[in-house]
Amino acid sequence: MTRSIAEQSIQELGGEASVLARQRRDHAELDRPMNLYESGSETQDEQRRILKQIVQLTFSHAFAEEVVLWPALRRLAPDGQELTAQVEEEHQEINNLVAEMERMEPQDAGHDQLAGRAFALIRQDIRDEEDLLLPRLQEALDRARLRKLGSAWETVRRTAPTHPHPAVSRRPPGNAVAGVPLSALDRARDLLPVGTRAPNSRRLVLAGCAVLATWLVVTAVRRRH
């Protein structure tokens, strides 16, 4: 019988370097600031900082899943297409909710309601992954391949976009191509003081495409010389 990865030991998951252990650690790391934000015990500035941390963790984590893990699951599991479609819908809804939040101030009417809906979806997404999707990877891969997949996932996560981009595809190659410029823009934006208003998402995507086009041209020129 398939067991949730939430119920298994590190050894059962394939060791600390396994993608299953890495995912579970990331999920726990994400749950802590959500609980702190919902406690209402922090100042408004602290609430802004905590929300920024939640957003960064959520979207870098999800992007790496969509680029590395879910394509593997679709290849390996007969029901992989159905399972990943379900979680991609959750990711898209989280993208939409957080993008709407980023256009608001924390004190605006409806902001906390949006945050509550986004957190509920993130927690549902975590349950679906730990109970359904990740055990299917566990069934299909041995320990060595789980560690190799974990390394690939971690590499992408560390260089992934850190903010919502609802217009970007949830699947390769669209998300992988867009991720190069969007990650650079997001991480530059993360250096701004907490509370700085987010730029228009449409402009951000267009700027990202421009950066990507420039990078492709420069790469092509270098290859000729």
Nearest to 203, CA basis, from 190, 185, 191: 185
Residues 6+ apart with CB under 8 A from 171: 66, 70, 71, 88
Is pLDDT of 93 > 80? yes
- Tens digits of residue pLDDT in 149-178: 999 999 999 999 999 999 999 999 999 999
Quote the CA–CA distance of 47 and 42 in Å, as a whole number: 6
Rounded alpha-carbon distances, angstroms, from residue 165 to 60, 114, 169: 11, 17, 9
145-172-14 Cα angle (round to 5): 20
Nearest to 204, CA basis, from 225, 178, 172, 177: 178
Confidence of residue 13 (pLDDT cuts 50, 70, 90): very high
pLDDT at 44: 86
Confidence of residue 196 (pLDDT cuts 50, 70, 90): low
Question: 3-state DSSP call for residue 14?
Answer: coil
Compute the average pLDDT of residues 83-99: 97
Number of neighbouring beta carbons within 10 Å of residue 100: 17
- Residue predicted with more confidence, 219 or 57: 57
Question: 3-state DSSP call for residue 192?
Answer: coil
pLDDT at 201: 46
Number of neighbouring beta carbons within 10 Å of residue 46: 13
In the DSSP assignment, the letter for residue 43 is -
pTM: 0.86
- Tens digits of residue pLDDT in 104-151: 988 899 999 999 999 999 999 999 999 999 999 999 999 999 999 999
Give domain limits for the chain.
5-224
